[in-house]
Structure formats: C-alpha cells, structure tokens
Structure 1
Amino acid sequence: MSRAADRLKVVLNHLDRPRSHVVAFSTSAQSVSYHHPQTFRYTLDSDILSPEQRLSYEENGFILIKNLVSEEDIDKFRAEFERICRREVQIPGLVVMRDVAIAKSEFVQDEKAVSKLQDFQEDPELFRYCSLPQILQYVECFTGPNIMAMHTMLINKPPDAGKKTSRHPMHQDLHYFPFRPADRIVCAWTAMERVDRRNGCLVVLPGTHHGTLKEHDYPEWEGGVNKMYHGVRDYSPDHPRVHLEMEKGDTVFFHPLLIHGSGMNQTQGFRKAISCHYASADCYYIDVKGTTQENIAQEVKEITTRKYAMDTLTFQDTWTLRGRLVQGERTSL
C-alpha cells in the first residue's frame, strides 16, 4: 500500500471522531495537520480527484495529470502561436517577450524570436485552452465553481545561447498576484511537447506551499536575467526537488506558493508549454504597499505607464483588466 493510501486509511478511521479531533501526519517536508470534518485545506470536495490525488496535493502542492489535453488542440495552439510570431495577427494587450540573450540580435519574424507570450486573453484560439472542460473540472477542485482566468502564458523556452539565460529562477507565483486567498488560486501548465531535464522542464520543491510568501528579486546571474523573472531570495538549496518530466498533453496543477523554476534548454529545439493561472471569483484584492510585493507592483506600473501612456492604472487595475470569467459568476474579482 502506498504512503498516501496509508494516510488516507488513517483519515477514514477517524471519521467518527468528535469534530475537534485533529489527525497529524508526518511528511518528508514537515508535519501537516488535517482537521475533521474539514479534512482538507487545499482541495475541495468533488468526484474528480481521487483520495490519493487529494492527499498528494495537500502534502506536495502539485499533481500531474497525464494526457489531459488532446494532441489536436495542442497543434492548434501551436499553429496560432506561429501566426502571432509571423505577425499575421495583432492581439490587443498581448505581451511578446524575447530572451535577453537574443533581444538585440538580428532575427526573422518567426518563433525563434519569441520566448514567451503573456496575456493572450484576447486571442480566441489560445484562450480556448483556459476554457477546456477537462482543465476546468480539475481547476474547480481548487477554486470552487466560480472561476476566473487571471494570467495566461505560452512559453517557448529557447535553446540556451551559452549564457544560461534560458533558466527561470526559483520563485513563487503568488509574488505577482495582488489577490487572495492563496489556497483558492491554482496554475494549470500543459506540455506542448515532451519536456525533460535536457530542454528545461519544471523543477518543484514539494511541500513549500505550506510556507509563506518569500521576498523576491532579480538573481545576480552573469549572463543577465529576463524581464520580470524574479526569484526567491532565501530558500534552502538542500530541499528535496522534483523534475517534472512530461509528455505532450500532460498537465500539472500547482499551488501559487509552491517554489518552482526551470533549468536551461540544452537542446537545439524550443520547449513549448501553455498555462493559465486561475482564481476563485470569490477572491479579493489586497494592498501590497509595504509588503514584499511592492517591487513587482512598481515594475508593473512602470511597464503599463509606458504601454498605455497613462500613470493612473494601479497594480490591481492591471489584474482586473486581464481577468476573464470562464465558469460560474464573477462575484468579486
């Protein structure tokens, strides 16, 4: 019997205990307490996640679902990405990014010039990813029935140019979000082709979602760091880590406090993935002034001021504008 199944058996054996009873499990990362009848903190009741999957997410902060998105859909997303790279379509609000190592080089207008698309909510084909029923049925296990798509990305990690700039520093996604509670936010990240350690798969530190939001800043890398690629300033390099090797269509769901990043792309190909951060529409905005998030809020404000030639947009406004309801009712966000 697996370790998760052993823990589940303990929970089931205590279902008839008084409401005040606490069941404590010792994990490799730290001790986790489950309270009856609210046994789970990070997942909600549904028929989608198995008991073992729920316990795994509770303990580790992520779950990997194999073959969730069809090859046909992924090929359509890839074709749309290539159209955007060739500038055959213009998408309002879309942010097109290039790796810092090639940002000033000569290049043709194709996918080799683009390392990432952000905020593709106005592109009907790419945004269709965020509304896929098989994605949303898992998202609802973390957010509840009212679901907002808050942040969209298509990552095209380029072959490393020799300066290690294709890395993504270890970070927590909550650093970028001025809304809470964190436990009702989740990311869906789908591999658009095989991803492994050679082309820079995701690496996660299991259990770090039990902690708090840490201070982030640009790491001091000799080859430079891509714009907005903030990293955690203080985490244990000895913490156990998992490299998420995935096949095309595999999807990982993870908590916004989970510390994660990705390594260099040491191949000659471009490693593609598509992702969306979701939040419960019942979440609320917070003021990040005076917190560790103040630096990212200031950076976003500077970017939006240049982009829209106006300085009245707040950090919260930028998220309100890009958020889209994908299921249920828009109750708060």
Structure 2
Amino acid sequence: MNNLLQTKLLPEEKDIRFFEENGYWVSPKIFSDEQLEKIVEHQEKIYRGEFETGREPVCNWLEGVDNPRALRKTDNSHWSDTKLRAVATDSTIGATAAKLMKADVIRLWHDQLLYKPGRGTGKETANVGWHQDYIYWKNCMEPTLITAWVAFTDVDLSNGCMQVVPRSHKWGLVNVNSFFEQNLEKQQAEMVLPENEVFTTVPLVMKAGQVSFHHAITIHGSGANVTELPRRSMAVHLMTGDTRYQFDPKGQHFNARILNGNEGDLYEGDSWPVLYPYRQHD
C-alpha cells in the first residue's frame, strides 16, 4: 500500500484552530477506494484467524467463536497484518496528528480494528457509549494523545457514525465514561458537566477513506447500525513523542506492560512505531 505523505491533504491553519477550539477535525479522503477494498479483505482475514505475520493481536473477535451480532474490536491488528499496519502507520495520518497536536514526533499508541454489524434480527445495537479515550490511558502522565478514526465504509447516523461533543476536550475527565455502555441517554443524563457548558453532539458524517481526528479528552460515542450492511473502520490511537509512563492503580494498559518501565519513562522503541517525522524507506 502506498504510504507516501500526501501534503495537499494536511490541515491548514484554520483547521488547526478549529481542532483547538472543538477537539475534533475531519480530513479529506486519504485512502482510495482501491486501497479500501484490499483493507477490507485483510480485515476479514483477521476475523478468520488468518494472521499474515504469524503474530496474534492483543485481543480479537473470531469467526465461529464470538457473537456475530456484537461489536467487533481487535486491538493491535497491525501486529498481525502488513496491510492493516500500513493503515495504522500511515504517514499522512501521522503528519496530520503532528499538526493538530503541534508535536515534533508522533508515535502509534495502538490500533483498534472495528466492525459494527447491521441490524440482523433487529435486537442488537452495538452502540459505543459516551467516553473519553484518556480514561483508559491513565498509564500516560498527560493526555498527549489523539485518535485518527479511519472510515472503511461511508458512515452517517443510519449506520452508527461517531458522534462527538464539541469543546468537551476542555472539560477534563467527566464522571461518566464507558465504551461498552449501550444506554447513551442514561449516560448523558447522569453526566456532570462544567458550569455553563452544554452537552451537544455532532455526527461525523464521512465518506469511505476519510479520517476523523479527536483529542484524547473529547467525549464521543456512536449509536446503532440500523442498515443491512456492516460499518467498518479502524481507530488509530496516536501519541506525541513526549508521552511518558505513570503508574495507574486501576490497572496496567497492555502498552504499559510492554514498556515495563519506571515512572516518567518515555514510550519509545519498536513497539510504538514513528509515523511522524515521515521517513521514506528504500
């Protein structure tokens, strides 16, 4: 897969200001339809347990084993497949994250391959509850992280596109955070917001191949896919080069276990590939 830096697609100053104010931004189309066709083929291989590199992901939904109507979430698919690794380490995604975060270095934190099934029997929802990514990444000293969400298929409200809460990246961590919660209305009702702030959602309607970016503190979630076709995507979680380890008494993220470091150690090395600065390889 072509991983050349596409400079014409990078955010301009007005886009960077929009991200700073709202906590999210949506790119132009980065991946072509031809690339996406191959990507989806390799996504299906992962679900069949066909790991090109011979290395399994951190966790994976498997065909014939897990609930076919549930949300499929595979952590670190880039370990297992070179086509998916090319998505997770795409140079244009890395350069965009660097501009939005005003960072000199961007590394891969981890990826999540996602599949939200269609309505099937009509009983399943596969919602993603309102959450802030950093709540799961407290093994990082600061929220110096950003997520690039790559749409493999067209997404809108009908198939459960991501929805974000503008400005919520300025609120700090809120009291209600759960990726797996299905009752989004209940979550919203129980959430305590900063004074004079309002919980307003924006659906990120995107064409296949576009990429949305949101800050690690930005509240986001998604509703049901009521169409007949699956919603496919990858969340590419990224960190700036100054992201450091801290102990989290609530548990160790798998990245922290890989690092096996001391308080204040940088997350660096081959386990966290560099996306930016871009280096063209022979």
Shorter-chain-normalised TM-score: which range?
Answer: 0.7 to 0.9
Partner of 2:91: 133
Distance 1:104 1:53, change over 3 A: closer
Q: Name the aligned partner's letter for residue 147 of structure 1.
A: I
Partner of 2:140: 179
Partner of 2:103: 144
Partner of 1:73: 35
**Within 2, Cα distance between the matches of 1:224 and 1:48?**
36
TM-score by length of 1: 0.65
Counterpart secondary structure, 2:159: coil
Contact 1:190 1:250 in 2 (8 A): yes
Pairing 1:263–2:212 present: no
Distance 1:175 1:317, change over 3 A: farther
Q: Give % identity.
A: 23
Pairing 1:63–2:25 present: yes
Of 246, 251, 276, which residue of structure 1 is paired with 2:211? Answer: 251
Counterpart secondary structure, 1:175: helix
TM-score by length of 2: 0.76
Pairing 1:325–2:282 present: no
Of 75, 85, 88, which residue of structure 2 is paired with 1:118? Answer: 75
Partner of 1:167: 127
Gaps of 5+ in 1: 1-46, 226-230, 305-312
Contact 2:71 2:126 in 1 (8 A): no
Q: Deviations over 1:102-158 (max 9, x none)?
A: 9765x7xxxx78722211231222011122222122011115232210110111101
Taking CA–CA contacts closer than 8 Å with sequence separation of 6 or more, which of the two structures ends up with the larger relative contact order? 2
State how many pairs are aligned: 252
Partner of 2:242: 282
Contact 1:202 1:244 in 2 (8 A): yes
Partner of 2:49: 87
Computing the radius of gyration from Cα coordinates, the structure with the larger value is: 1
**Within 1, Cα distance between the matches of 2:179 and 2:142?**
27
Of 51, 57, 75, which residue of structure 1 is paired with 2:13? Answer: 51
- CA-CA distance at 1:48 after TM superposition: 4.2
Of 200, 204, 219, which residue of structure 1 is paired with 2:160? Answer: 200
Contact 2:145 2:239 in 1 (8 A): yes
Let me know the Cα RMSD of the aligned residues. 3.5
Task: Detail structure 1 runs of 4+ shifted over 6 Å in the superposition.
Answer: 318-321
Distance 1:104 1:239, change over 3 A: same
Gaps of 5+ in 2: 1-8, 262-266
Partner of 2:264: none
Distance 1:220 1:92, change over 3 A: closer
Distance 1:253 1:124, change over 3 A: same
